[in-house]
Structure 1
Amino acid sequence: MTGSTAGSATLLERSRTTQGYPQARVIVLNDDVNTFQHVVDCLCRIIPGMGTDRAWKLAHKIDNEGSAEVWCGPLEQAELYHQQLGAEGLTMAPIERC
């Protein structure tokens, strides 16, 4: 058994880096298939806290500008909303990190 003296002991210092949970954006694209009403209904049903007024504004933005960010938050939730909106027939952009 070998002993070490106080002067020869090496202390390793842990460096702690905090990384936030990855955030992502859910973006709906314009298409010639979905009606305004269908887009609004899907947004209100799938995106938490989405009201009809905001959903209509987003639907018009999608139509006028070609796309709109409909939700931004934790990646895991973004993936879920992206999948659910796509399953409803909405045309989705790939998930983007924010």
Structure 2
Amino acid sequence: MNLYKTFGIELQISEADRILLKENTCDFIGFSYYMTSVVSLKEDSLTEGNLVKVGKNKHLEENAWGWQIVPVGLRILMNRLYDPYQQPLFIL
């Protein structure tokens, strides 16, 4: 809610909605992790993901689709998702 306030967004949430949200929390967090990317201004250093073009890291190998997958990146994402919510994680 603080983030919405920061951007001047006011949500219209009824008391019934607040109760519903409080009593029906998530049992797990599902996420996908496809590849890592970097920022670059050079057009020839880009690779295509599902919906966007992203920069390639010249120090990493690519898979058959041209994606660069970094296991430590997956671990960092899992830590960032687990720490605030303490819910089981499922890679989709």
Query: TM-score by structure 2 length?
Result: 0.24
Higher relative contact order (CA closer than 8 Å, sequence separation 6+): 1
Query: TM-score by structure 1 length?
Result: 0.23
Greater radius of gyration (CA): 1
Q: As a proportion of its length, which structure holds more strand?
A: 1
